[in-house]
């Protein structure tokens, strides 16, 4: 097995497995750090950066306006503690500056998301592939790596075609994919080098809900709501917009809950109860008072006359019915028990989730190479010296908002510097 000190420092041969954002960022960083190193990206498909192309609805939400490493790391259900250090070394401002300096001006939107000013993910692809070309990184497409073996002389790689290659250092940046069955792709390569793989399940999904309450209401957005998984203790509540869809519920609040609860929800077969607080601006007492005030001010009006607190009338009527009340009833006729029933529904409508569905096909993977098996200063394996990891193959995933690419830029950069062996162990 090679040790970092036994590897030739003058012209190290570096194999990057995976032509996604993490692999490209690492390859370019390595070449910039040490131009004499020889870097080859092995990509199994016919084109590189495929996910970047379709990301952010074709616009590529490249990172998030979150300069504080702790605050940034808090957006990662897997990695929120471990990423603070890496983000301190190469965080969101560094990533944004990297692209801006290389001709990709970015725009920050009010929700904190950064996109290229061009609003076209191709700009990001052109930047990364252009940098790789300029720095003389070799890119081999249709080159699936099927085995990586540590030898006395570095690493021996075998490709699906049967071809072989040798490298002093190897980066596995093969991305994520939660599919049932035996380990595949980069996970299998990592496992063959001694790594355990934290079980893989999807994250970032919408909830299928078949409930009369939502029938015919698709398209309605309630902002904000507070959602929580009923009976999933230890799972934080999530605040944000909720979108009613044709098949259930979606929107940032739901996606965040899906990410933080990815493993819980998988383990219960995606059958669980979610409670929606439609008026999180009130605590229970405040809401009771507000309902009493509303009843006093609108005595002669029917409940169905208007939707209070920005709730659309159609949704409001459904909530009234869910509370067992008649929408034709007048506010002034509501007794304390009826008000309490309405209040209970507004504070915690329970919806039975019966499955999950992709959010614009934007699944990310929860699980992967455990972070405790990786030195997060260099992204080097603690088990196989000279082997590094970056991107979604690691047990890291973020919520939506540019966080998943940011972890690729960060881990790719750290790995890229370290892969050259130019004092990288001190990074
Ligand atoms: C539809 C969609 C939209 C998204 N939008 C955003 C967004 O706007 N912002 C954001 O932050 N995140 C977004 N994400 C998440 C983001 O795309 C991923 O987290 C990110 O692409 C992971 O990068 P990666 O380099 O680790 O892996 P990948 O992008 O998956 O790249 C890995 C590459 O490795 C190749 N590969 C795999 N195995 C092998 C092998 N054995 N040999 C050779 N090559 C191999 C694959 O073909 C692939 O090209 C989106 C995801 C999806 C699916």
Centre of ligand 1 to C-alpha 189, Å, is 17
Task: List the beta bridge partners of residue 246.
Answer: none
Centre of ligand 1 to C-alpha 162, Å, is 25
Centre of ligand 1 to C-alpha 172, Å, is 13
Centre of ligand 1 to C-alpha 145, Å, is 16
H-type alpha helices, 298-354: 313-322, 336-347
- Return the best residue to mutate from 17, 20, 78, 173 for the ligand 1 pocket (most ligand atoms within 8 A of CB): 20
At 410, give phi and psi (nearest 5°).
-70, -50
- Return the best residue to mutate from 15, 18, 53, 409 for the ligand 1 pocket (most ligand atoms within 8 A of CB): 18
Q: How far is residue 32 from each of residues 20, 23, 360, measured CA to CA in Å?
A: 18, 14, 35
The ligand 1 site (C-beta within 6 Å) comprises 17-23, 42-45, 50-51, 54-56, 60-61, 144-145, 173-175, 185-186, 360-364, 391-392, 402-405, 408
* Residue (of 169, 104, 123) closest to 390 by Cα position: 169
Taking the C-alpha atoms of residue 63 and residue 407, their distance in angstroms, rounded to an integer, is: 9
pLDDT value at residue 236: 82
* Residue (of 401, 337, 389, 335) closest to 364 by Cα position: 401
pLDDT value at residue 6: 42
Centre of ligand 1 to C-alpha 164, Å, is 25
pLDDT in tens, 84-122: 999 999 999 999 999 999 999 999 999 999 999 999 999
In the block, tokens 């720095």 appear at: 135
> Looking at ligand 1, which atom is closest to the CA of residue 174?
34
> Looking at ligand 1, which atom is closest to the CA of residue 59?
8
Which positions ≥6 away from 220 have C-beta within 8 Å? 243, 244, 312, 314, 315
Residue-wise burial string across 181-205, b where 16 or more C-beta atoms lie within 10 A, e elsewhere: eeeebbbebbeebebebbebbbbbb
Q: How far is residue 97 from each of residues 74, 93, 102, 104, 274, measured CA to CA in Å?
A: 22, 6, 8, 9, 40
Q: Provide the Cα torsion 364, 115, 411, 14; round to 10°.
A: 100
> Looking at ligand 1, which atom is closest to the CA of residue 145?
42
Residue located nearest, by CA, to atom 1 of ligand 1: 362
Taking the C-alpha atoms of residue 30 and residue 378, their distance in angstroms, rounded to an integer, is: 12
Task: List the beta bridge partners of residue 151.
Answer: 154
Q: Are 400 and 111 within 8 A, CB to CB?
A: no
Taking the C-alpha atoms of residue 108 and residue 317, their distance in angstroms, rounded to an integer, is: 38
Burial of 293 (0-12, 13-18, 19+ CB in 10 A): exposed
pLDDT < 70: residue spans in the chain: 1-10, 359, 361-362, 422-427
Centre of ligand 1 to C-alpha 349, Å, is 36
Residue located nearest, by CA, to atom 31 of ligand 1: 20
Residue 346: strand, helix, or coil:
helix
Strand order in the sheet with 374-375: 138-140, 38-42, 13-17, 169-172, 387-389, 380-381, 374-375
Taking the C-alpha atoms of residue 331 and residue 13, their distance in angstroms, rounded to an integer, is: 76
Domain segments of the chain as ranges: 4-201+362-426, 205-361
Residue located nearest, by CA, to atom 45 of ligand 1: 18
Q: Provide the Cα torsion 11, 13, 16, 22; round to 10°.
A: -10
- Return the best residue to mutate from 24, 25, 51 for the ligand 1 pocket (most ligand atoms within 8 A of CB): 51
Q: Would the CA dihedral through 210, 216, 220, 223 be positive or negative?
A: negative
H or E segment and range at residue 38: strand 38-42
> Looking at ligand 1, which atom is closest to the CA of residue 143?
43
Task: Establish whether this prediction's ipTM goes over 0.90.
Answer: yes
Q: Are 3 and 103 within 8 A, CB to CB?
A: no
Centre of ligand 1 to C-alpha 122, Å, is 15
β-pair type (38-42, 138-140):
parallel
CATH number of the structural domain 4-201+362-426: 3.50.50.60
């Amino acid at each position: 097995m090679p040790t970092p000190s036994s590897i030739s420092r003058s012209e190290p041969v570096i194999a990057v497995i995976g032509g996604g954002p993490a692999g490209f960022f690492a390859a370019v960083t390595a070449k910039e750090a040490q131009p004499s190193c020889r870097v080859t990206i092995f990509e199994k498909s016919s084109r590189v950066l495929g996910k970047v192309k379709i990301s952010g609805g074709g616009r590529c939400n490249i990172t998030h306006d979150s300069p504080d490493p702790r605050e940034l790391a808090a957006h990662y259900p897997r990695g929120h503690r471990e990423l603070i250090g890496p983000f301190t070394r190469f965080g969101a401002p560094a990533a944004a500056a990297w692209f801006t300096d290389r001709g990709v001006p970015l725009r920050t939107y009010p929700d904190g998301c950064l996109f290229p000013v061009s609003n076209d993910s191709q700009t990001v692809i052109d930047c990364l592939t252009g940098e790789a070309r300029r720095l003389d990184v070799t890119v081999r497409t249709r080159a699936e790596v099927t085995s990586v073996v540590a030898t006395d002389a570095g690493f021996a790689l075998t490709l699906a075609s049967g071809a072989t290659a040798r490298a002093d250092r190897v980066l596995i940046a093969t991305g994520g994919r939660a599919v049932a069955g035996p380990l595949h792709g980069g996970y299998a390569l990592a496992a063959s080098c001694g790594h355990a793989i934290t079980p893989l399940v999807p994250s970032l999904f919408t909830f299928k809900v078949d409930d009369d309450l939502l029938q015919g209401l698709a398209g309605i957005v309630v902002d904000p709501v507070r959602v929580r998984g009923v009976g999933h203790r230890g799972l934080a509540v999530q605040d944000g917009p909720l979108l009613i869809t044709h098949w259930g519920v979606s929107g940032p609040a739901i996606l965040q809950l899906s990410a933080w609860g990815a493993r819980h929800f998988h383990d219960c077969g995606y059958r669980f109860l979610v409670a929606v607080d439609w008026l999180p601006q009130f605590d229970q007492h405040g809401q009771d008072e507000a309902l009493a005030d509303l009843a006093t001010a609108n005595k002669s009006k029917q409940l169905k006359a208007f939707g209070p607190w920005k709730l659309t009338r159609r949704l409001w009527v459904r909530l009234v019915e869910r509370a067992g009340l008649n929408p034709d009833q007048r506010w002034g006729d509501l007794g304390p028990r009826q008000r309490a029933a309405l209040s209970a529904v507004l504070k915690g409508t329970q919806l039975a989730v019966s499955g999950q569905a992709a959010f614009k096909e934007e699944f990310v993977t929860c699980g992967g190479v455990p972070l405790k098996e990786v030195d997060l200063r260099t992204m080097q394996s603690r088990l196989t010296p000279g082997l590094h990891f970056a991107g979604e193959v690691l047990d890291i995933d973020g919520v939506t908002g540019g966080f998943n690419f940011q972890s690729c830029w960060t881990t790719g950069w750290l790995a890229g510097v370290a892969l050259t062996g130019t004092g990288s162990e001190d990074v």
